[in-house]
């Protein structure tokens, strides 16, 4: 379980907290999508989980954040990194090797994974991300999307109990983005991994996440099951979060009293709602 209790944070260079009064519980194995406008504090929230704040970016840390009982301020980055694997926004800064397989091996060797397990973990991670054919390629020669997949594979190979991904599909086209989310969701379900993903594409989150967290001005404005959060599509738009049109359409039907069912997460659910209205 991950718990934020009255958590606020001000970067040392900043004049005010950029995350404020966050109280949130994330159950084990939950797939959580965090979204909100640019600069709203999404990444900072995840930094409190993987320990980047306050260990790498110091500042005033109020309240507490715990991961499986470990207080992320009190616990060393080394200990935290064994539980929490992170893929950051700036993929190039994360890469330490020049060849794909070395990048994955680096983490496995650093974590002291037994030699007889290393090859299987490397091959599985590359296979899972659909990049087995890139194994011997130079990282410099890869596209942004391919690099993102290598970064995710490197972390997945370590089998962390919590996976934090900051915009993992930023460099991917819509079809590849959906495929990566499918893979992540399947992987998380099979391994009981808690996944926290910062993502601008709310439609992707709505389809895959168990919980949506909407951040605005450093505060959590909505947190809950996607269906519950998407009921607020008009307010979300005001916060800079553009829900799928299918969601807004069904919410209009709900507001006008024509439909009493839940918010639609995608076109299929909206079509079902429309059929019910017409019937």
Ligand X SMILES: Nc1ncnc2c1ncn2[C@@H]1O[C@H](COP(=O)(O)OP(=O)(O)OP(=O)(O)O)[C@@H](O)[C@H]1O
43 part of the interface to ligand X, by CB under 6 A: yes
Min dist. Cβ of residue 216 to ligand X (A):
10
Tell me which DSSP letter residue 40 carries.
S
Counting contacts by CB under 6 A, is residue 174 touching ligand X? Answer: no
Of 24 and 274, CB closest to ligand X: 24
Q: Per rule CB under 6 A, is residue 13 in the interface with ligand X?
A: yes
Cβ-based neighbour number of residue 258 at 10 Å: 14
Beta partners for residue 162, in sequence order: 84, 194
Task: Sheet containing 59-67: give its strands across.
Answer: 19-26, 2-11, 59-67, 70-71
Q: Give the shortest CB-159-to-ligand X separation in angstroms.
A: 26
Binding piece for ligand X, criterion CB under 6 A, among 11-19, 60-68, 72-80, 265-273: 11-19
Out of 27, 39, 58, 144, the residue judged to bind ligand X by CB under 6 A? 39
Segment interacting with ligand X, rule: CB under 6 A, options 38-46, 188-196, 233-241, 262-270? 38-46
Which helix (DSSP H) or strand (DSSP E) does residue 9 occupy? strand 2-11
Three-state DSSP at 154 gives helix
Cα dihedral 22, 27, 29, 35 sign? negative
- How many residues touch ligand X under the rule CB under 6 A: the total is 13
Q: Which of 2, 8, 17, 18 binds ligand X (CB under 6 A)?
A: 18
- Nearest residue (CB) to ligand X, 44 versus 75: 44
Nearer to ligand X, 169 or 246 (CB): 169
The number of beta carbons lying within 10 Å of the beta carbon of residue 161 is: 16
* String of contacts with ligand X for each residue 51-80, x by CB under 6 A: ------x-----------------------
Which of 1, 5, 14, 98: binder of ligand X (CB under 6 A)?
A: 14
DSSP 47-98: HHHHTHHHHTS-EEEEEEEEETTEETTTS-HHHHHHHEEEE-S-HHHH---S
Identify whether the C-beta of residue 215 lies closer than 8 Å to the C-beta of residue 208.
Answer: no
Residues 263 and 233 sit within 8 Å (Cβ to Cβ)? yes
| CB closer to ligand X, 215 vs 264 | 215
> Min. distance of Cβ 51 from ligand X in angstroms?
14
Taking the least distance from each CB to ligand X, the nearer of 87 and 263 is: 87
Q: Are 217 and 22 in contact (CB under 8 A)?
A: no
Q: Could you say which of 4, 11, 61, 259 contacts ligand X (CB under 6 A)?
A: 11
**Least distance (Å) between residue 186 CB and ligand X:** 26
User: Helices 115-128 and 144-156: crossing angle, nearest 10°?
Assistant: 140
Binding interface with ligand X (CB under 6 A): 11, 13-14, 18, 36, 38-44, 57
């Amino acid at each position: 379980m991950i718990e934020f209790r009255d958590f606020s944070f001000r970067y040392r260079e900043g004049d005010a907290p950029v995350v404020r009064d966050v109280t949130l519980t994330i159950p084990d194995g939950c797939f959580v999508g965090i979204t909100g406008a640019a600069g709203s504090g999404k990444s900072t929230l995840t930094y409190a989980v993987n320990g980047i704040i306050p260990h790498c970016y110091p500042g005033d840390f109020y309240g507490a954040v715990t991961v499986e009982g470990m207080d992320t301020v009190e616990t060393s980055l080394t200990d935290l990194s064994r539980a929490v694997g992170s893929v950051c926004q700036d993929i190039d800064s994360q890469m330490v090797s020049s060849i794909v397989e070395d990048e994955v091996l680096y983490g496995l060797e650093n974590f002291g994974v037994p030699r007889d397990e290393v090859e299987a973990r490397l091959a599985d991670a590359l296979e899972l991300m659909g990049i087995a054919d890139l194994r011997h390629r130079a990282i410099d020669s890869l596209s942004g999307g391919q690099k993102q997949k290598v970064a995710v594979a490197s972390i997945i190979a370590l089998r962390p109990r919590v996976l934090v991904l900051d915009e993992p599909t930023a460099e991917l086209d819509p079809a590849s983005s959906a495929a990566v989310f499918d893979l992540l969701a399947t992987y998380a379900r099979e391994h009981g991994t808690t996944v926290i993903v910062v993502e601008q594409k709310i439609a992707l989150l709505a389809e895959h996440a168990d919980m949506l967290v909407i951040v605005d001005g450093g505060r959590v404005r909505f947190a809950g099951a996607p269906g519950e959060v998407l009921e607020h599509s008009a307010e979300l738009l005001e916060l800079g979060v553009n829900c799928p049109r299918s969601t807004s359409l069904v919410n209009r039907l709900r507001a006008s009293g024509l439909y009493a069912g839940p918010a639609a997460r995608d076109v299929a659910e909206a079509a079902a709602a429309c059929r019910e209205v017409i019937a």
